[in-house]
Amino acid sequence: MATMFPDNAALIIVDVQKAIDDPNWGRRNNPDAESRIAALLHAWRSNGRPIIHVRHLSREPQSTYRPGQSGCEFKDAALPLPGETVVTKHVNCAFVGTDLHSNLQAMGASCVVICGVITNNSVEATARMAGDLGYETYVVADATATFDMSDFDGNRRSAEEVHAMSLANLSGEYATIVSASQIIS
């Protein structure tokens, strides 16, 4: 693992649940995101670094993340091991209404590395808050993914465009954007 990260750098894996495989989401970018997330998870486990799995349980009746559905289950690439921290959230940001901040403080983490889904939703919201709270924040561009969507004016935007704009929103003020290969040596 690259030495740019302190030993207490926490890996935060956001919402990597079966819900994102529902066809209602539409076309997605970065089909290799899960394999890169699995590689990051392996690197963190091998080095004994802190890991936090974030699980979304939506309160929206039509959500694929609604409790009681198979979509709430973690995908195989991001299954928590016994003893790893799991934070359950009900809104986009993993810090709101959860014990994520207190868990990070208890772990002594001053640096967070964020991966998962959806780039322009929960990943961006969580990274913004991490930056605002003073964490040295990294977002792994090729270990995050999103979906095609329409912009405010109704123009269809590709998942690649949405992903790139979300990362651009975060870059600098809130987070440093990196690739999985920059982290894993």
Domain residue ranges of the chain, discontinuous segments joined by +: 10-183
Are 100 and 54 within 8 A, CB to CB? yes
pLDDT band at 6 (very low <50, low <70, confident <90, very high): confident
Distance CA 110, CA 128 (A): 15
Q: What is the pLDDT of residues 99-155, one digit of tens each?
A: 999 999 999 999 999 999 999 999 999 999 999 999 999 999 999 999 999 999 999
Are 54 and 99 within 8 A, CB to CB? no
Which amino acid is located at 178 in the chain?
V
With a cut of 70, say whether residue 2 has pLDDT above it.
no
Mean pLDDT for the chain overall: 95
Q: Residue 135 corresponds to which tokens in the numbers above?
A: 């964490």
Q: Residue 172 corresponds to which tokens in the numbers above?
A: 């600098």
Distance CA 149, CA 155 (A): 8
Question: Residue 35: in which H helix or E strand, if any?
Answer: helix 33-46
CATH class in words for 10-183:
alpha beta
DSSP-based three-state secondary structure for 147: strand
Q: Residue 114 corresponds to which tokens in the numbers above?
A: 């964020």
